[in-house]
Amino acid sequence: MSNDHAAKRLDLADTRSFHQAGSGPVRRQRLGAYTQTVLADLWDAATQPYGNRTADGIALAAVGSLGRGDAGPLSDYDLILVHDGRTVGAGDVAAIAESIWYPLWDNGIRLDHSVRTLGECRTVASGDLSAAIGMLDIEWIAGDPVLVAGVRHGIAHDWRSNARTRLPEVIESLRARHDRHGNLASSLEPDIKEGRGGLRDMTVLRALAGAWLADRPHGDVDEAYARLLDVRDALHVATGRGREKLHLEDQDAVAALLGRPDSDSLLVTVADSGRRISHALEETLRRAGQSQRARVLRVGPRRPILNPLGYGLYEHDGEVVLGPNHRSTQPDHLLLMRAARAAARSRIPLSPTTIDNLSRDLAPLPTPWPTEVRDAFLDLLATGPGLVQVWETLDLAGIIDQWIPEWKAVRSRPQRNSVHRFTVDRHLIETVVQAYERRADVARPDVLLLSALLHDIGKIAGVLDHAAEGAPVAATIARRIGLGDREVADLELLVREHLTLIDLATRRDPRDPATVAALTKAVDDRLDLFEQLRALTEADALAAGPKAWTGWRSGLVNELSDQVRGALTARPTLEPEEDPATEIVTDAMPSLQMGEPYVRVESTPGGAQILIADRDRLGLFADSAGLLAATGVVVRAARVRTIDGVAVNTWQIESPFGDLPAEHDLVRGLSQLASGDSSPLRALERRRRAPFPLGSPPPRATVVPGASDTATVVEVRCPDRPGLLRDIGLAFTKAGMAVRSAHVATYAGQTLDTFYVTAADGRPLEPPAAAALIGSVIDAMQA
């Protein structure tokens, strides 16, 4: 390096003015312009000895953040000296390069540099994915602009030509990087650049759009990227180093520079920004994959393949979409919840277009919510692991805020606790997923799932006892959603006491009567409520992370639970108060006298209520349930009772796939089934083989002792499926048992059915017969 070049020093004092205000796009623009001036001056000094020989065929260019114009105060300089390999000799090219690199090094600037021809640039890009993506942002600084434009166009052309074959490489690279650097949405020390949802993901997002495989989202994602740049800039200024990882000890200073009230608020910003970038990247990758498949499969004109999901929704190319007859559908909370439920159950995403069509200008929901909307929301919670992705999509679209305004306070909120691996909102959703796995352990899975969703809703800034703070908030939400007073009270207790079981088990002697008494008092001496608390406790701990549910903790909770179960006794299941249904029997009598069943279908906002009255006979319940299932309807609840030899069945149903069943079709079908003709059930045989959802608990059937003096009470819990009630009814029929009354309900995808059955002589079953019946019912549910 010549003395003249060594004397060319950068005046770093001039850069201090760019560091004073913590961050911002204006400062980045000024800093970029200043850097360009400095590098241009270095170029002039380096090429001056060669005169006009350097006017063509050689140039200085920037890539990466410097090329994009969004470099931070202490970001690396990523420079390329491009030459054509002919105009300037190799020795002169090397001398020019050294005259630029050395002054930068002398001033402590981190430098990534290279000297390449156009052909070498394209060769490197073809073999190095990171280099290819970086060179898409190449920007001229000084020298021959035509040469740099040639590199830009060549790299872009190669990228577009090979993008489809390189897409798997992009996906694998993202997975490996995210595994190494974690997720901005859940890390207490996020890597702003390399983490999932970080700055580099935005670069990949732009590169995918530049490949012409798919357009990318704009608006919110661009704002999120700008916020992360602001955080990165403030981190550089606060630490005086070009760091990209936001360490705990730096967060207060960075928050102060950005005008944030505290470091928690800063992490909320980082997490929310990371979520939006990550979601946009996933969506764009999905679109790119669809584009790739479309090209491979395109032979001629093709109609889209639509797999029906019910309610006018379809699966198309791995997404849930509205069908062709629903293009003019108005924004609708109910259909939106059903679409989200279909997506979560199928573990596929919601189409962005569908979300936009169903959520734009949504009218506020009334208070309380309509029954069918409440049921659809609870069904959404009962979708298992698929809920995580769908809830994230709804949340980023602003829909969750409309359903639960209190969600804003916990969104992206960090948890500074070593046992927690997620932000508060994500932890709540993970708890719902864990509760889904335990829903068969409780009498009201809907209350369990909702308490899982809301148990930490009080974990907001400035609150010391989040359980006490959150309990009335959860009750308010439950009341707004439309739960009954009993369920609201149970939910409020579960949220208030959700830490009680784990605290007593780990801090007190589980075998001490005082410990047991404290816990039984907390659940109002109710075994059913304790089982809810037990399931919630385990779901909460498993969702927090492996440190929260160790073998030691699990053992202590199980030990205390056994003690509490011994101290509490289950309340008997009382037979529902008999409804005389005089009006129904009176209306049905003319049909019954003619030997025909009586059927009445009454439309409701969520579907219909179907009344069926017929002369009581063995197998009538199974036939009625099977016939309804064959029409494709979904039974939400049912009530069966016998009045003066007339069986009166009331069914609350939804019809996902079309019109409501016609009264005359049901009458004809019941008459055929009564005569031994099973042809009305052929459609059911095609539908009933659908397997239980993944992770479903095994079916259960038990006799409830002491629940009735005149009948044997059988309680059934099972994941709902087409034809389930018919199969249970057939088990009773084959055993020669009569269903005197039944109370059927589906809570969040889980049936909880109570049947009062008698032997042929009208008496309760003897123990051997009851045991055999239970085995038959379980076998029928698993068929």
- In this prediction, residue 698 carries a pLDDT of 82
Contacts for 558 with CB less than 8 Å, ≥ 6 apart: none
Total Cβ atoms within 10 A of residue 163? 20
Distance in angstroms (rounded) separating the CA atoms of residues 22 and 243: 15
Q: How many residues does the chain have?
A: 783
Q: Which residue has the tokens 């064959």?
A: 630
The stretch 757-782 carries a mean pLDDT of 91
The stretch 402-417 carries a mean pLDDT of 92
* pLDDT classification of 688: cutoffs 50, 70, 90: low
The stretch 457-468 carries a mean pLDDT of 89
Distance in angstroms (rounded) separating the CA atoms of residues 385 and 381: 10
The stretch 437-460 carries a mean pLDDT of 94
Task: Provide the β-strand partners of residue 773.
Answer: none
Distance in angstroms (rounded) separating the CA atoms of residues 17 and 35: 13
CA-closest candidate to residue 742, choices 500, 530, 573: 573
CA-closest candidate to residue 147, choices 102, 82, 95, 233: 82
Contacts for 760 with CB less than 8 Å, ≥ 6 apart: 736, 738
The stretch 641-666 carries a mean pLDDT of 86
DSSP 439-496: GGGSS-HHHHHHHHHHTTTT--TT-S-HHHHHHHHHHHHHHHHT--HHHHHHHHHHHH
Q: Which segments of 48-144 does DSSP mark as H helices, in order?
A: 64-68, 90-106, 118-127, 129-135
Distances (CA, A) of 409 to 462, 474, 540: 12, 13, 19
Contact between 497 and 533 under an 8 Å Cβ cutoff? The reply is yes
Radius of gyration of the chain (CA): 34
The stretch 548-565 carries a mean pLDDT of 90
- In this prediction, residue 10 carries a pLDDT of 47
- In this prediction, residue 7 carries a pLDDT of 38
The stretch 451-469 carries a mean pLDDT of 92
Comparing 14-28, 53-67, 331-345, which segment has the lowest mean pLDDT? 14-28
- In this prediction, residue 448 carries a pLDDT of 97
Residue type, 658: G
**Residue 324 clears pLDDT 90, i.e. is over it:** no
CA-closest candidate to residue 286, choices 235, 381, 234, 351: 351
Distance in angstroms (rounded) separating the CA atoms of residues 741 and 176: 59
Peptide bond into 304 cis (omega under 30): no
Q: Return the half-sphere exposure (C-beta side, CA atoms, 13 A cut-off) of residue 658.
A: 6
Distance in angstroms (rounded) separating the CA atoms of residues 559 and 311: 47
- In this prediction, residue 722 carries a pLDDT of 83
Q: Write out the two tokens for 699.
A: 């079916």
- In this prediction, residue 641 carries a pLDDT of 84
- In this prediction, residue 270 carries a pLDDT of 95
Distances (CA, A) of 53 to 42, 58, 100, 313, 763: 17, 9, 17, 67, 110
Question: At 398, phi and psi to the nearest 5?
Answer: 80, 15
- In this prediction, residue 1 carries a pLDDT of 40
Distance in angstroms (rounded) separating the CA atoms of residues 490 and 475: 9
**Residue 58 clears pLDDT 70, i.e. is over it:** yes
**Residue 14 clears pLDDT 70, i.e. is over it:** no
The widest CA-to-CA distance across the chain, in whole angstroms, is: 116
Q: Write out the two tokens for 300.
A: 């001629």
* pLDDT classification of 750: cutoffs 50, 70, 90: confident
Total Cβ atoms within 10 A of residue 593? 8
Residue range 585-602, pLDDT digits in tens: 778 888 888 889 999 999
What's the chain's average pLDDT? 87
Residue range 466-495, pLDDT digits in tens: 999 999 999 999 999 999 999 999 999 999
Q: Which segments of 211-262 does DSSP mark as H helices, in order?
A: 220-239, 248-257
Comparing 72-86, 114-128, 248-262, 409-423, which segment has the lowest mean pLDDT? 409-423
CA-closest candidate to residue 349, choices 307, 305, 326, 317: 317
Contact between 123 and 115 under an 8 Å Cβ cutoff? The reply is no
The stretch 441-458 carries a mean pLDDT of 95
CA-closest candidate to residue 20, choices 11, 9, 30: 30
**Residue 338 clears pLDDT 80, i.e. is over it:** yes
Contacts for 256 with CB less than 8 Å, ≥ 6 apart: none
For residues 331 and 5, the model is more confident at 331
Contacts for 96 with CB less than 8 Å, ≥ 6 apart: 46, 47, 50, 54, 58, 81, 88
Contact between 271 and 412 under an 8 Å Cβ cutoff? The reply is yes
Distances (CA, A) of 722 to 310, 586, 626, 682, 783: 14, 32, 9, 13, 12
The stretch 42-68 carries a mean pLDDT of 85
CA-closest candidate to residue 64, choices 181, 244, 199: 199
Task: Provide the β-strand partners of residue 611.
Answer: 600, 650
Percent of the chain with pLDDT over 90: 53
**Residue 575 clears pLDDT 80, i.e. is over it:** no
**Residue 8 clears pLDDT 50, i.e. is over it:** no
pTM: 0.85
Q: Which residue has the tokens 């029928």?
A: 780
**Residue 240 clears pLDDT 80, i.e. is over it:** yes
Contact between 217 and 271 under an 8 Å Cβ cutoff? The reply is no
SS3 at position 716:
strand
Distance in angstroms (rounded) separating the CA atoms of residues 418 and 690: 42
**Residue 20 clears pLDDT 60, i.e. is over it:** no
What is the three-state SS of 23-75?
CCHHHHHHHHHHHHHHHHHHHHHHHHHHHHHHCCCEEEEECHHHHHCCCCCCC
Distance in angstroms (rounded) separating the CA atoms of residues 39 and 729: 83
**Residue 410 clears pLDDT 90, i.e. is over it:** yes
Residue range 264-292, pLDDT digits in tens: 999 999 999 999 999 999 989 988 887 77
- In this prediction, residue 521 carries a pLDDT of 94
For residues 325 and 318, the model is more confident at 318
Report for 173-177, 595-599, 740-744: range of highest mean pLDDT: 173-177
Distance in angstroms (rounded) separating the CA atoms of residues 526 and 780: 31
CA-closest candidate to residue 292, choices 132, 174, 165, 172: 165
SS3 at position 381:
helix
Contact between 75 and 65 under an 8 Å Cβ cutoff? The reply is yes
Report for 136-150, 322-336, 700-714: range of highest mean pLDDT: 136-150
**Residue 298 clears pLDDT 80, i.e. is over it:** no
Contact between 393 and 361 under an 8 Å Cβ cutoff? The reply is no
